[in-house]
Amino acid sequence: MFVRKSKKSLSEYSTGELVMFRFRKNKLAMFGVVLLSIIVITILLAPLISSYDAVVEMNMADRFQSPNAKYLFGTDEFGRDLFARILYGGRISMFASLAVIGIAFVIGAIMGGAAGYLGGRVDTILMRAVDVLMAVPSVLLAMAIITALGNGVWKLIIALAVSQVARFARTVRASVLTLRNVEYVEAARCFGASSLKIILKHILPNGIGPIIVSATITLGQTILSISSMGYLGLGVASPTPEWGTIISENKMNIGTYPYLGLIPGICICLAVMAVNFIGDGLRDAFDPKTKN
Partner 1 sequence: MAVPLIETVNLKKYFKTGKGMLHAVEEVNLKIEEGKTLGVVGESGCGKSTLGRTILRLHPATSGQVLFNGQDILKCNKREMKKVKADMQMVFQDPYSSLDPRMSVRGLISEPLETCGDIRDKKEISRRVEEIMELCGLPANHANLYPHELDGGLRQRVGLARAMTLDPKFIVCDEPVSALDVSIQAQILNLLMDLQEQKKLSYMFITHDLCVVKHISDEIMVMYMGQVVERAKTEELFENPAHPYTKALLAAIPTIDLSSRKRERFVLSGEVSNPIDPEPGCRFAHRCPYATEKCKKDNAVREIAEGHFVACNLC
Partner 2 sequence: MSEERKNGARESDNLLEISDLHVQYNTDDAVVHALNGLSLKVKKGAKLGLVGETGAGKTTLALSVLRLLPAGVGEITEGSIIYDGDDLLKQPESFMLGLRGEKISMIFQDPMTSLNPTHTVGDQILEVLDLHFHEMPREEKNRKVDDILTLVGIPPARKNEFPHQFSGGMKQRIVIAMALVAEPELLLADEPTTALDVTIQAQILELMRDLKEKYNSAVILITHDLGVVAQFCDSVAVVYGGRVVEYGTVEQIYAREKNHPYTAGLFNCIPDLSVKAERLTPIEGRMADPRVVAQGCCFAERCKHCTEICKSRAPSAYEEDGHGILCHLFTKKEGA
- Distance between CA atoms of 182 and 191, rounded to whole angstroms? 15
What residues between 7 and 36 interact with partner 1 by CB under 8 A? 11-12, 15
Residue 186 CB, nearest approach to partner 1 (Å): 6
User: Cα(161)–Cα(153) distance, rounded to whole angstroms?
Assistant: 12
Residue whose CB is less far from partner 1, 135 or 191: 191
Contact 105/168 with Cβ under 8 angstroms? Answer: yes
Distance separating alpha carbons of residues 12 and 215, to the nearest angstrom: 31
Q: For residues 256 and 137, what is the distance between their CA atoms, to the nearest angstrom?
A: 34
Among 85, 170, 202, 283, interactor with partner 1 by CB under 8 A: 202
Q: Which does 128 bind (CB under 5 to 8 A by kind): partner 1, partner 2, none?
A: none
Residue 3 CB, nearest approach to partner 2 (Å): 8
Closest by alpha carbon to 101, among 279, 283, 286?
A: 279
User: Which residues inside 252-291 make contact with partner 2, applying CB under 8 A?
Assistant: 291
Question: Among residues 56, 73, 58, which one has the least CA distance to residue 258?
Answer: 73
Chain positions 230 to 289 lying near partner 1, rule: CB under 8 A, are 288-289
Q: Does residue 121 touch partner 1 according to CB under 8 A?
A: no
Residues lying near partner 1 in the complex (CB under 8 A) are found at: 1-4, 6, 11-12, 15, 182-184, 186-193, 197, 201-202, 205-206, 288-289
Residues of the shown chain interacting with partner 2 in the complex, contacts defined by CB under 8 A: 1-2, 291
